[in-house]
Amino acid sequence: MRQRAAVFLITFSGLVFEIGLTRIYSATIWYHFAFVAISVALLGWGLGGMTVHLLKKPMPSSTEKAALFSVLYAFAIPVVLWVLVRYPFEIERLSLYFLAPLVPFLLAGIALSMVFDLNRAESGSLYFADLLGASLGALAVTFFLQRLGGEATLLLAAVAPMIAAAYLSKPLRLISSIGAIVLAIAALTNGTTQLMRVIPGTVKAMRKDLDANPGAKVTQEGWNAYSRISAVEPIPPPYVARLYIDSDAWTSIYPWDGQIDHATDLRDSYRALPFKLTPKGETLVIGPGGGSDVLAALASGQRKVTAVELNPLMIQFVRHYGARAGNIYSRPDVEIIQSEGRNFISRTDRKFDVIFLGFVDSWASVASGGLSLSENYLYTSQAFKDYYDHLTPDGVLVILRWDLDVPRLVSNSVAVLGATEAAKRVAVLMEKRGSARAAVDPSQMLFMLRKRPFDTTELAAIKNDWTLANPMILPGEAPAPYDDLLSGRKTMAAYEAESANFVGPVFDDSPFYFATERPWGMPGGIAQRLFTWLLVPSFGLLLLFAFLGKPTGQPVAPYASSVIYFSALGFGFISVELSLLQNLTLLVGHPIFTLSVLLFTLLAAGGLGSAMTGRIPAAAACIGVAVIGIAESFVLPRVVPSLLALSLPMRVMVAMLFIAPMGVLMGIPFPSGLRKTGQGALPAPPFYWGLNGILSVIGSVTTVFVAMLFGFQAAMILGCGCYLIAATTTGKRVSG
Judge whether 368 lies within some domain: no
Judge whether 573 lies within some domain: yes
Do 560 and 692 lie in a common domain?
Answer: yes
Do 450 and 550 lie in a common domain?
Answer: no
- What's the mean pLDDT in 584-598? 71
How far, CA to CA in Å, does 7 sit from each of 59, 162, 349? 20, 12, 49
Q: State phi, psi for 617 to the nearest 5 degrees.
A: -60, 145
pLDDT band for position 250 (50/70/90)? confident
Let me know the angle formed at the C-alpha of 726 by 721 and 729, rounded to the nearest 5 degrees: 130
**Whether residue 364 has pLDDT greater than 80:** no
3-state secondary structure labels for all residues of 173-236:
HHHHHHHHHHHHHHHHHHHHHCCCCCCCCCCCHHHHHHHHCCCCEEEEEEEECCEEEEEEECCC
Residue 163, pLDDT score: 94
Contacts of 193 (CB under 8 A, 6+ apart): none
Domain count, the chain: 4
pLDDT band for position 370 (50/70/90)? very low
How far, CA to CA in Å, does 124 sit from each of 116, 120, 614? 10, 9, 9
Do 86 and 128 lie in a common domain?
Answer: yes
Q: CB count, 10 Å around CB of 528?
A: 12
DSSP H helices, 58-172, are 63-86, 94-99, 102-118, 123-148, 150-157, 159-168
pLDDT band for position 366 (50/70/90)? very low
Judge whether 626 lies within some domain: yes
Judge whether 395 lies within some domain: no
Q: What is the CATH number of the domain that holds 96?
A: 1.20.1250
Q: Range with the lowest mean pLDDT among 174-178, 343-347, 565-569?
A: 343-347
- What's the mean pLDDT in 182-198? 90
Gyration radius from the chain CA atoms = 27
Q: Which residues pair with 356 in a beta bridge?
A: 285, 398
Nearest CA to 315 out of 247, 243, 260, 258 is that of 243
In the chain, pLDDT over 90 holds for what percent of residues? 40
Contacts of 647 (CB under 8 A, 6+ apart): none
Judge whether 599 lies within some domain: yes
Domain end among 455, 474, 505: 505
Task: Compute the distance between CA of residue 272 and CA of residue 268 in angstroms, rounded to an integer.
Answer: 7
- What's the mean pLDDT in 161-178? 91
Judge whether 373 lies within some domain: no
pLDDT band for position 200 (50/70/90)? confident
Residue 315, pLDDT score: 92
Residue 21, pLDDT score: 87
Residue 586, pLDDT score: 80
Average pLDDT, the chain: 86
Tens of pLDDT, residues 105-143: 999 999 988 888 887 667 677 778 888 888 888 888 888
Domain that holds residue 39: 1-201
Task: Compute the distance between CA of residue 483 and CA of residue 481 in angstroms, rounded to an integer.
Answer: 6
Residue 375, pLDDT score: 53
**Whether residue 82 has pLDDT greater than 50:** yes
**Whether residue 594 has pLDDT greater than 90:** no
- What's the mean pLDDT in 179-198? 90
Question: Is cis: bond before 274, omega within 30 of 0?
Answer: no
Task: Compute the distance between CA of residue 309 and CA of residue 289 in angstroms, rounded to an integer.
Answer: 7
Torsion angle of alpha carbons 462, 468, 472, 476, nearest 10°?
10
Do 501 and 463 lie in a common domain?
Answer: yes
Question: Is cis: bond before 234, omega within 30 of 0?
Answer: yes
**Whether residue 41 has pLDDT greater than 50:** yes
Q: What is the CATH number of the domain that holds 223?
A: 3.40.50.150
Of residues 42 and 281, more confidently modeled? 281
Q: State phi, psi for 428 to the nearest 5 degrees.
A: -130, 130
- What's the mean pLDDT in 21-46? 75
Do 102 and 23 lie in a common domain?
Answer: yes
Q: Which residues pair with 282 in a beta bridge?
A: 304
Q: CB count, 10 Å around CB of 555?
A: 13
Task: Compute the distance between CA of residue 572 and CA of residue 670 in angstroms, rounded to an integer.
Answer: 12
Residue 426, pLDDT score: 96
Do 495 and 533 lie in a common domain?
Answer: no
Residue 117, pLDDT score: 81
Q: Which residues pair with 250 in a beta bridge?
A: 244
**Whether residue 254 has pLDDT greater than 70:** yes
In the chain, pLDDT over 70 holds for what percent of residues? 93
Q: Exposed, middle or buried by CB within 10 Å (0-12, 13-18, 19+), for 209?
A: middle
Dihedral sign, CA of 291, 145, 219, 35? negative
Q: Which secondary structure element, helix H or strand E, spans residue 411, and what is its range? A: helix 406-417
Residue 638, pLDDT score: 86
Amino acid identity of 671?
A: P
Do 646 and 702 lie in a common domain?
Answer: yes
Do 130 and 30 lie in a common domain?
Answer: yes
Judge whether 95 lies within some domain: yes
Judge whether 374 lies within some domain: no
Do 226 and 195 lie in a common domain?
Answer: no
Domain end among 452, 481, 505: 505
Tens of pLDDT, residues 204-239: 888 888 888 888 999 988 887 777 889 999 888 888
Tens of pLDDT, residues 641-667: 888 878 888 888 898 899 999 999 999
* Contact assessment for residue 270 and residue 231, using Cβ atoms and an 8 Å cutoff: no
Do 175 and 215 lie in a common domain?
Answer: no
Q: CB count, 10 Å around CB of 524?
A: 11
Domain end among 467, 486, 505: 505
Tens of pLDDT, residues 372-411: 344 578 899 999 999 999 999 999 999 999 888 999 999 9
pLDDT band for position 284 (50/70/90)? very high
Task: Compute the distance between CA of residue 149 and CA of residue 187 in angstroms, rounded to an integer.
Answer: 9
Do 485 and 530 lie in a common domain?
Answer: no
Do 604 and 478 lie in a common domain?
Answer: no
* Contact assessment for residue 355 and residue 387, using Cβ atoms and an 8 Å cutoff: yes
pLDDT band for position 734 (50/70/90)? very low
